[in-house]
Amino acid sequence: MTVDDEAPERLTYDEPDYSDEVGVHVTGQSKAAGSASPFGGERHPDPCSLVMFGVTGDLAHRKLIPALYDLGCHGVLPFGTTLVGYGRQEMTDDQFRDLMRTAIDDHYGEEVVDGSQCDRLLMAPRYVQGQFDDPEGFKRLAAVLDELDGKGARGNRMFYLATPPSQFEVLIEQLGEAGLARPGAFDGEHGPDGARGWTRVVVEKPFGRDLETARELNRVIGQVFDERQVYRIDHYLAKETVQNLLVLRFANGIFEPVWNRRYVDFVEITAAETLGVEHRGPYYEEAGALRDMITPHLIQLFSLVAMEPPAAFDADAVRDEKMKVLRAVRPIPLHSLEDWAVRAQYVQGRVEGEDVPAYHSEERVAPDSYTETYAALKLVIDNWRWQGVPFYLRTGKRLARRVTEIAIHFKRPPVALFRDAQAGGGVQPNVLILRVQPDEGFSLNIESKQPGHSVALQPVSMDFSYGVTLHELPFSAYETVLVDAMEGDMTLFTRGDQAEEAWRIVGPVLEAWAIRPERDISIYEAGTWGPEAADALIARDGHSWRRPVKGVET
């Protein structure tokens, strides 16, 4: 389990200045910030007992507890919802309340915290001490939940596994043995023995280390819970722009007709970070960039970009189409792996004006480590819509800029009428850029004539940003995750077969790298956009990576 976002998501936006560019106004459909799902409606979750395992850990402190506070500020957190922490440390309810208050203050600062909303969230939290494999601890937890059912929770229970992945199976098994799973209680209408209320479990990433372990985890979960109760989280899919992708494609007549091999040249999906591994050295040594980011996050973004229109806008239909496109991905040929996959590791450099050490010099990292901090993949889909269109996925630590984006590169016009009208050599292809973070929104880069008598071209941008256009900021990813799970909306959560299929795609690459870890690992200087090998991978197809600069699209 990791936290990939580097800063609070709902404070301020530093937007690009387009005042010197040609003004372009465009009307279309977009998802309103904070609505219930990609398909509208206000948020009205049921009250519940929210049990958080690993409540003293980094994820709870940095993301989950602040997200609950934000939901209270939005007026979304229903009365009767109680946070129940379960952890190994001895702690009273009052001490747990202090821990929550510290998490909120650390995230936003004491001067911006709404005291009334904070007090509401902190009114009556409960804490249960116990080991993760301790049946007695789960009996104490069951007693607390029974008590809360009579105080407003209505029998609704959500278990959030904010723990290291090594604890997932034992927690699932203990929930089953304690009778807390209630596998019939998935829709809120009924449960085992006629009890009302729903039970849901949220599982953090990574979901397994490879195909075999993912299948085993699915097997353990399936013995305890109904699949309709299981919410495998990918908080990237809860980003406002990712949800907006479905609206952009399927609610606007101008995009879906050109969303195919006839008009799209290639697609880039990038998740770049400026941070290194920091205090997460031991975890990262076991994971690496491919496991940490591409398998759980970028593969899911890829499936949303490439999927066919669902028959209906519900969780099953959307996830069925995502599964179809994952199954259509061509196996990566291992005999020419360097043409399809790149791995690299950062060395000393400068990031945002500061000297930073090499990966080998990071805390608790082996000096002879071959763990990749950068990974890039080329994927090809063997179906009618996308035949011949390459998808390039890349992620890395200590890169030039923190940015997660999807870039749809369209083909050039068939006739070069304006070959000499631009210093760069004619018309540039249009690019649709969906910014997932940090400046949520999207832009369409087009060509326009410069004012004057001569025919000279200049690029302009049709831009939409939540922070500027709507004058409001969207829910953070973890707010969306929590509310979707409370409401029983599984659209943005990964189904078990999807998790296995993602490992089917990347597993052979991991196995090939593990055979000779010292082979084919490149280096790149911290503060750059990655290794030359990645440039060569995309250049073989006649393309090049985007290098976004804050406020400038390149």
Residue whose structure tokens are 């008598």: 453
Do 219 and 253 fall within a single domain?
A: no
Do 278 and 420 fall within a single domain?
A: yes
Do 177 and 269 fall within a single domain?
A: no
Do 339 and 368 fall within a single domain?
A: yes
| Buried b or exposed e, range 216-241, using 16+ CB within 10 angstroms | ebbebbeebbbebbbbbbbbbbbbbb
Rounded (5°) CA angle 388-542-433: 75
Token pair, residue 224, equals 């305890």
Do 288 and 394 fall within a single domain?
A: yes
- List, in order, residues 6 or more apart from 254 with CB less than 8 Å away: 28
CATH of the domain at 369: 3.30.360.10
Q: How is 516-542 classified by DSSP, letter by letter? A: STTTTEEEEETTBS--HHHHHHHHTTT
Do 429 and 529 fall within a single domain?
A: yes
Each residue's pLDDT, cut to its tens digit, for the chain (554 residues) gives 444 444 333 333 233 333 333 334 444 555 544 444 443 456 678 889 999 999 998 889 989 998 888 888 777 888 888 999 999 999 999 899 889 888 888 887 765 556 566 566 666 889 999 999 999 999 999 999 999 988 888 899 999 999 988 899 999 999 999 999 988 766 655 444 455 789 999 998 888 889 999 999 999 999 999 999 999 987 777 676 677 788 888 888 889 999 999 999 999 999 999 999 877 788 888 889 999 999 989 999 999 999 999 988 788 898 999 999 999 999 999 999 999 999 999 999 999 889 999 999 998 999 999 999 999 999 999 999 999 999 999 999 999 999 999 999 999 877 666 656 555 556 778 899 998 888 888 888 877 776 766 666 767 778 877 666 555 555 677 888 888 899 998 888 889 999 999 999 999 999 999 988 887 899 999 999 999 999 999 999 999 999 987 644 44
Biggest alpha carbon distance in the chain?
Answer: 83
Whether residue 188 is contained in a domain is answered as yes
Token pair, residue 48, equals 């519940």
Number of domains in the chain: 2
Token pair, residue 521, equals 């690992």
Whether residue 15 is contained in a domain is answered as no
Range of the domain at 518: 237-539
Whether residue 522 is contained in a domain is answered as yes
- List, in order, residues 6 or more apart from 462 with CB less than 8 Å away: 24, 26, 443, 444, 446
Whether residue 133 is contained in a domain is answered as yes
Q: What SS3 class is residue 448?
A: strand
pTM, rounded to two decimals: 0.85
Do 241 and 213 fall within a single domain?
A: no
Token pair, residue 388, equals 């011949």
Do 73 and 213 fall within a single domain?
A: yes
Whether residue 104 is contained in a domain is answered as yes
Whether residue 40 is contained in a domain is answered as no
Whether residue 335 is contained in a domain is answered as yes
Q: Which of 216, 232, 248 is the last residue of a domain?
A: 232
Do 370 and 399 fall within a single domain?
A: yes
Do 275 and 193 fall within a single domain?
A: no
Do 243 and 227 fall within a single domain?
A: no
Active site residues: 297
CATH of the domain at 169: 3.40.50.720
Do 403 and 495 fall within a single domain?
A: yes
